[in-house]
Amino acid sequence: MAHVDPASPPSTTRRDDRVLPATRVLSVVLVPILLTAFVILYGSPSDTGRLFAWTIRPSLTPMVLGSAYLGGAWFFVRVARERRWARVGAGLLSVTLFAALLGVATVIHWDRFNHGHVAFWLWATLYFVAPFLVLAAWVANTRVAALPRPDELRLRPGARAVVAGGAGLALAQGLVMFAVPSLVIPVWPWLLTPLTCRVVGAVFCLGSAGLVVLRDSRWVRLRLMVEVEVVMLTLILVGAVRGRSDLYTDRPLTWLLLTGLAATLGASLLLWRAMAGRERARGTSARPAPPRTSAR
């Protein structure tokens, strides 16, 4: 009798790289929530006391959080429509971490929230439940993920190292902001409280999605993450212009952070352009040559 490894997936599991229906449903549910939060936080950043789960000051912080929400909305729109898991799977673990950190921050700073506001109960429900649902979606879809094909376009070693390094720095910064806000608040480019420091730290942790290249350097795995990053960074930089009066221009970290965000945005666009060019080149080389006509 053949030995069957209990740790291996059942033979009936189709590893066809599909996005499971339950994951699509979860994405469809999350998109309007994220879009609503974006409209409130980015559109009316000075009115969070009336419209949001807690009063956030100054206005630059809600715009940063709103930027993450619009990036998340775009991500989940793509998850809901995508057929291939490899195109979206890299983002779910970073979303799980983001949601889990915000759930923990909610418990730590419970007294700072507007408990009588419906937005708070939506916030609390979302961040107490979403980490488990998103993680479950990742686990379930990973079981049907197809193995990489050798002919798929991959990042070159230099680009892979830069992406992984940037993702690692974003994760490290986010975790420090969450774990030790008292270390960050005195030097941060704008006013933070312990709660908002942890929230901004959770936003930085979304950058950990780029660490996927350490294990899988296929462009198909990173493409959507770059799209989301471009959306977020563009909105954050526009928010910095809108909320420039909130910035402490005498702090060195202000200019270091803004320069770093702008450089990351530029590098992301350059990476996108380079990989798109390689895709076009591969498509052209794979196209069959037109048949020759014999000379008469």
The domain locations on the chain are 21-278
Q: How many CB atoms lie under 10 A from the CB of residue 147? A: 8
**Which pair of structure tokens corresponds to residue 247?**
């910035």
What region, left, alpha or beta, does residue 187 occupy, with left being phi > 0 and alpha being psi -120 to 50 degrees?
Answer: alpha
**Which pair of structure tokens corresponds to residue 174?**
């986010």
What is the rounded end-to-end Cα distance, in angstroms, of the chain?
A: 69
- For the stretch 210-259, pLDDT in tens is 999 999 999 999 999 999 999 999 999 999 999 999 999 999 999 999 99
What is each CA distance from 9 to 5, 19, 22, 28, 149, in whole angstroms?
Answer: 9, 17, 19, 28, 20
Give the whole-number percent of the chain exceeding pLDDT 90: 89
List, in sequence order, every residue forming a beta bridge with 254; answer none if it has no partner: none
- For the stretch 48-105, pLDDT in tens is 999 999 999 999 999 999 999 999 999 999 999 999 999 999 999 999 999 999 999 9
Q: What is the mean pLDDT of the chain?
A: 93
**Which pair of structure tokens corresponds to residue 206?**
């979304």
List, in sequence order, every residue forming a beta bridge with 222; answer none if it has no partner: none
pLDDT confidence band for 285 (50 / 70 / 90): low
54 near 113, Cβ under 8 Å? yes
How deeply is 234 buried, as exposed, middle or buried, from its count of CB atoms within 10 A (0-12, 13-18, 19+)? middle
pLDDT confidence band for 296 (50 / 70 / 90): very low
**Rounded to the nearest 5 degrees, what angle is found at the Cα of 92, between the Cα atoms of 200 and 159?**
80
